[in-house]
Structure 1
């Protein structure tokens, strides 16, 4: 997850210098260095999918866990697909909004990804007490998933600060994965029976 954050920072500092407060992160994929953001989407999707696979080995099988893992997998696939369907830049008030087919698909994939990530992480956080290896992280994971949901709601309530709210949402979603990945890595030497 570190490389995702690094790519985000790099592409934000390059032309055309989109506003991180107002504009969506997806806008960074449109411009001379947009390929970096597209690489970011691909890496994010792959790492998120690997995280879902790793979690599937740790959680006991149950209906709620399966639903949470499916949501996390949906987030992963949609995040990956964002790289292939660039968004439309609609931030300039002097230009009439032009919606392209790939821009519409981008919005659809992003919407599905955000809802799936928030729901999946909340469901899985509530189920952490059923695992031995990540049981102690339930409070932190639940807090991060709730903060992600609040940031997601803020995106709708603060359209002029939507870029900031979106980045906070992504920060909490990816931090949740990072915290659980560190927790799993710390216990990697345990035998399967200890899980």
Structure 2
């Protein structure tokens, strides 16, 4: 079966998602270079939202949510429609919504030299819960959509999507292990997971924006 190419709405949404992912990464890099100079290996990304330039990171969280939203729109314009795609899109959208909520829930930042936070505030606990939910939802959505993508009429998109889904899953597993056993590596593990999720979103939207549908029945 030949599945139609996305229309103008799909292509424009994919373009916005691509720009959003690039902007998010660039802002993260710039903030990492500004005071108070959190260690990206040990410090969680959310720490960047606490400090003199924290408001920029909060805007970045909102931008990630918006990028996820337009990515969901873009993916929703390509076939075939199925329960798996609907579930994957809903989960991915939930992950993006959690990113938006993080902008209003400051993280608890440990004192200089400490690797873990010993005193959790109610808002800090809520931040951890929302962040964890967001990562789990996004990973579940990416996994479901990767399976769906294999039969979507765009087989060339599957290998990159599958590889990035594995990166995200590996990062999330490592994040859990780092939290329990190696807090000095928490920031690195979180960023690996985030790289997998953002990379997956970028890859999927790039194929929607620039790729072409192949008729697999003709290739037999």
Alignment TM-score, normalising by the size of structure 1: 0.90
Q: Is the 8 A contact 1:59 1:130 kept in 2?
A: no
Match of residue 111 from structure 1: 132
Match of residue 184 from structure 2: 160
Match of residue 31 from structure 1: 51
User: Whose Rg is larger?
Assistant: 2
Larger relative contact order (C-alpha < 8 A, sep ≥ 6)? 2
Match of residue 209 from structure 2: 185
Q: Is the 8 A contact 2:71 2:205 kept in 1?
A: yes
Report the alpha carbon displacement of residue 96 of structure 1 after superposing the two structures with TM.
Answer: 7.1
Q: Helix, strand or coil for the counterpart of 1:156?
A: helix
Change (3 A) 1:161 1:58: same
Change (3 A) 1:184 1:95: closer
Aligned length in residues: 188
Q: Which deviations, in whole Å up to 9, do the C-alpha atoms of 1:134-188 show, x marking residues without a partner?
A: 3311111011101110111011222220100111111111011111111111148
Change (3 A) 1:45 1:96: closer
Distance in 2 (CA, whole Å) between partners of 1:90 and 1:174 is 27
1:52 aligns with 2:72: yes
Q: Which moves more between the two structures, 156-165 or 32-41?
A: 156-165
Distance in 2 (CA, whole Å) between partners of 1:96 and 1:168 is 22
What 5-or-longer segments of structure 1 have no aligned partner?
189-195
What does 1:11-90 align with in structure 2 at a 5 Å threshold? 11-90=31-110
Distance in 1 (CA, whole Å) between partners of 2:171 and 2:157 is 21
Distance in 2 (CA, whole Å) between partners of 1:85 and 1:17 is 21
Q: Which deviations, in whole Å up to 9, do the C-alpha atoms of 1:8-57 show, x marking residues without a partner?
A: 00111111111100010001100011011111101001001110121112
Runs of 4+ in 1 over 6 A off after TM superposition: none
Q: CA RMSD in A?
A: 2.0
What 5-or-longer segments of structure 2 have no aligned partner?
1-20, 213-220
Change (3 A) 1:139 1:3: same
